[in-house]
Structure formats: structure tokens, C-alpha cells
């Protein structure tokens, strides 16, 4: 039952872990973050402080609340201590199947039988790394979107053994911490949203590699056209609002065949694929100056919070 979840743990104090911890601590859960790397834990402490300062600055919470949240989050490199004391654990470690497999098996042995263990994996399914875990009924995916302490939606995905009870408790828990659970009833590599997001990303990189437009123009085009609308409509709602469903049958047939199924399915030649791979291998951003990464992230977090306040009026100071 949801009431049995009183303390939570987060494993992995990287880009996602600190934000995931903030969500739980904001809504009253004593939260422990653990990492194998002491430096990552220290960075996480600073990230949490800075994220809470931005929340205060933007009027989402009052200073007293920020201090309470900060005190509610503890840090340790001792996995067994965190595991023994957590009713719900979110794994957010490096996306390497063998590391996740080892961790899930360890957690399975260290946690009390009632503990639910969730993974924030982006690309894998539970069968890829959690098939040896004994508590199959109590493992699940909760997939957050960066920055996880701000973006409302979280995909909640079942594995082959996940019980309905675990699925429902996890969705209720997400609602309790004011997230919007997106329910995925069976295993799907990439979950729902990364598949959709990557369809666009693949096409964007491919059009860049084929020389149709600069990275800046592709980026600006998406943000100022359909991306601009996307806080309010997805492809289903867009179909409804654009009135395409009112077109005559022959135009709707054409729309489905040529526009939806026919366009934007460019073939990736070996040369184009190589160019995209080489670009990714460079390990540098497209647009932002890597020396100003933190400033760029803060600017974006503040912009997201402004949208959050319009769409999900949220003042977390009770
Ligand atoms: N960054 C994103 O945009 C994003 C979005 C959604 C999901 N994810 C997923 O979340 C997970 C974490 O991603 P991230 O971007 O925070 O990675 P990251 O590299 O920033 O952080 C990973 C952290 O895990 C720690 N770690 C590695 N192995 C560990 C272990 N065995 N025990 C404890 N700590 C360990 C590392 O020291 C590091 O601090 C990945 O599965 C990733 O695919 C990332």
C-alpha cells in the first residue's frame, strides 16, 4: 500500500539522481542518496542546494521549505545502509546493463522483502538486467525526464513479473509527489516517449548530416513551430485541433499515406550514419558553449519553471 512507503532511496547521484531525490523530499519523504563516488555525492549536495535556491527565487517554495527539504536528504556511500532503510528505491546509475544487473541483484539481497525497486533506465527493459532478481513482482521502471525535479511526466513501465499492486502503488506514489504517471502496460525498449523523441532526433541529425540545414536552424525551427505548440498539444490533439479529421476522405487518405507514413522516413546511408557517429564521438554540444554549461542549464531550468507555473500551478510551501 502507498501508506507503507515512508522512506525512499536513490542510487546514483548524477544528472538525474539529485533531481529525483528532490521530488520525494519536497513532498515529505526522508530520502537517502547513495553513490560509489564520494565526489558525485558532494556535487549532488551542491546541485540540490542550487536547485532549491532557484525554486525559492522563482516563488515555487519558501526558504523555510527549502531548508526542510535539504535536511530531509541524506548522503551515503554505504549501499546496504540505504537499502535496509528504504521502502522505495530508484536506481539512476550509469546506463550500462552489467552495472545495473549487479546493482539490482545486490539490492534484492539487501532490501527488506516489501521494498519496491525502480529503475530510471532510458533504453533498457527490466528483462535486460533484472531477470535474476527474486522479487520480480516488486521491480518496475520509473523513467523521469531531465530536469527530473521540474518536468512533470514520469513513465511508469511494467516488467514481465511486475504485479498490478506494484504498478498501482508506483503510479499513486508519482501522483503523491505531484508527477504525472504515464502508464506503460508491458515492456517496450525505449519506453513510449524516447521512441517518439528519438524518431524526431534521428530525423533532425540525419537532415543535418545530409547538409539540408545547420544545427542552429533545425533547433530554432523545432522550437518556434511545432515544438512551440507542444506544451499544449501532442500529435493526437494536433490532429483534432488542426481540423484534418474534417477534410474529405480523399485528402485524409492522402494525408495518411503520403504525409504521415511517407514523409520523414529518410534512409540512412553508410556515409550519413558515419557522419552522425563521428559528431557524437566528438563529445561536445551542438549549440551551447561547453564552458557555460551550468549557466545554460540554470537559464533553461528557470524557463521550464515559468511554463510549469502556467500549466501545473504549483506552490510547494505547505
Ligand atoms: N541524463 C538524462 O537526460 C537522463 C534522462 C532519463 C533517464 N536517464 C537515465 O538515468 C540514469 C542515470 O543517468 P545520469 O544522466 O544521471 O548519469 P550520470 O553519469 O550523470 O550519473 C550516474 C551516477 O551513477 C553513479 N554510479 C555508477 N555506478 C554506480 C553503482 N554501481 N552504485 C552507485 N552509484 C553508481 C556514478 O558515480 C554517477 O554519479 C541512466 O540510466 C540514464 O540512462 C538519464
* Domain spans, the chain: 2-184, 196-311
- pLDDT classification of 31: cutoffs 50, 70, 90: very high
The angle at the Cα of 313, spanning 310 to 314, to the nearest 5 degrees, equals 130
Distance 92 CA to ligand 1 centre (A): 5
Residues 55-64 have a mean pLDDT of 94
SS3 34: strand
Residues 112-139 have a mean pLDDT of 97
The catalytic position among 42, 71, 114, 143 is 143
* Confidence at residue 318, expressed as pLDDT on a 0 to 100 scale: 55
Instruction: Kindly state the DSSP code that residue 248 receives in the 8-state scheme.
Output: -
Residues 6+ apart with CB under 8 A from 297: 147
Cβ 170 vs Cβ 183: under 8 Å? no
Contact 36 CB / ligand 1 (< 6 Å): yes
How far apart are alpha carbons 306 and 70 in whole angstroms?
23
Distance 94 CA to ligand 1 centre (A): 4
Residues 212-222 have a mean pLDDT of 97
Question: What cell was used for 238?
Answer: 494536433
Helices (H) and strands (E) in the chain, counts: 14, 8
Write down the residue that cell numbers 522483502 correspond to: 113
pLDDT at 245 over 70: yes
Question: What cell was used for 277?
Answer: 557517429
| C-alpha neighbours within 13 Å on the C-beta side of residue 70 | 18
Integer Rg of the chain from CA: 21
Question: What cell was used for 282?
Answer: 566528438
* Confidence at residue 261, expressed as pLDDT on a 0 to 100 scale: 83
pLDDT at 219 over 70: yes
* Sign, Cα dihedral of 102, 138, 73, 143: positive
Distance 15 CA to ligand 1 centre (A): 7
The angle at the Cα of 92, spanning 74 to 307, to the nearest 5 degrees, equals 85
Strands 153-157 and 139-143: antiparallel
Residues 278-288 have a mean pLDDT of 92
- Round the average pLDDT of the chain to a whole number and report it: 94
Contact 99 CB / ligand 1 (< 6 Å): yes
Helix (H) or strand (E) holding 69: helix 63-72
Predicted model pTM: 0.93
* 143 among known catalytic residues: yes
- Tens-place pLDDT, residues 174-191: 999 999 999 999 999 999
pLDDT at 282 over 70: yes
Contact 5 CB / ligand 1 (< 6 Å): no
Domain 2-184 matching CATH 1.10.3720.10: the answer reads no
* Confidence at residue 178, expressed as pLDDT on a 0 to 100 scale: 94
Give helix 63-72 / helix 38-57 axis angle, nearest 10°: 160
Ligand 1 pocket: which of 15, 107, 148 to mutate (most atoms within 8 A of CB): 15
Contact 128 CB / ligand 1 (< 6 Å): no
Amino acid at each position: 500500500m502507498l501508506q507503507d512507503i515512508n522512506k525512499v532511496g536513490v542510487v546514483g547521484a548524477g544528472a538525474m539522481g539529485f533531481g529525483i531525490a528532490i521530488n520525494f523530499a519536497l513532498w515529505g519523504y526522508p530520502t537517502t542518496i547513495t553513490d560509489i563516488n564520494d565526489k558525485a555525492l558532494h556535487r549532488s549536495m551542491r546541485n540540490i542546494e542550487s536547485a532549491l535556491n532557484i525554486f525559492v527565487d522563482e516563488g515555487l517554495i519558501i526558504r523555510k521549505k527549502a531548508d526542510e527539504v535539504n535536511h530531509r536528504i541524506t548522503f551515503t556511500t554505504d549501499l546496504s545502509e540505504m537499502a535496509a532503510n528504504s521502502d522505495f528505491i530508484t536506481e539512476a546509475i550509469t546506463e550500462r546493463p552489467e552495472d545495473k544487473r549487479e546493482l539490482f541483484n545486490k539490492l534484492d539481497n539487501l532490501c527488506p522483502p516489501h521494498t519496491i525497486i525502480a529503475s530510471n533506465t532510458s533504453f533498457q527493459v527490466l528483462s535486460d538486467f533484472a531477470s535474476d532478481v527474486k522479487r520480480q513482482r516488486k521491480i518496475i521502471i520509473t523513467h523521469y525526464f531531465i530536469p527530473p525535479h521540474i518536468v512533470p511526466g514520469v513513465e511508469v513501465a511494467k516488467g514481465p513479473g511486475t504485479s498490478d499492486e506494484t504498478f498501482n502503488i508506483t503510479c499513486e506514489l508519482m501522483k503523491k509527489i505531484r508527477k504525472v504517471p504515464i502508464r506503460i502496460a508491458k515492456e517496450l525498449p525505449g519506453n513510449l516517449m524516447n521512441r517518439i523523441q528519438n524518431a524526431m532526433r534521428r530525423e533532425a541529425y540525419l537532415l543535418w548530416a545530409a547538409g539540408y540545414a545547420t544545427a542552429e536552424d533545425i533547433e530554432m525551427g523545432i522550437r518556434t513551430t511545432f515544438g512551440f505548440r507542444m506544451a499544449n498539444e501532442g500529435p493526437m490533439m494536433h490532429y483534432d485541433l488542426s481540423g484534418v479529421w474534417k477534410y474529405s476522405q480523399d485528402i485524409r487518405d492522402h494525408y495518411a499515406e503520403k504525409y504521415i507514413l511517407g514523409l520523414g522516413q529518410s534512409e540512412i546511408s553508410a556515409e550519413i550514419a558515419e557522419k552522425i557517429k563521428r559528431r557524437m564521438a566528438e563529445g561536445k554540444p551542438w549549440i551551447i558553449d561547453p564552458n557555460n554549461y551550468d549557466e545554460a542549464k540554470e537559464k533553461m531550468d528557470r524557463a521550464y519553471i515559468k511554463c510549469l507555473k502556467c500549466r501545473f500551478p504549483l506552490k510547494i510551501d505547505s
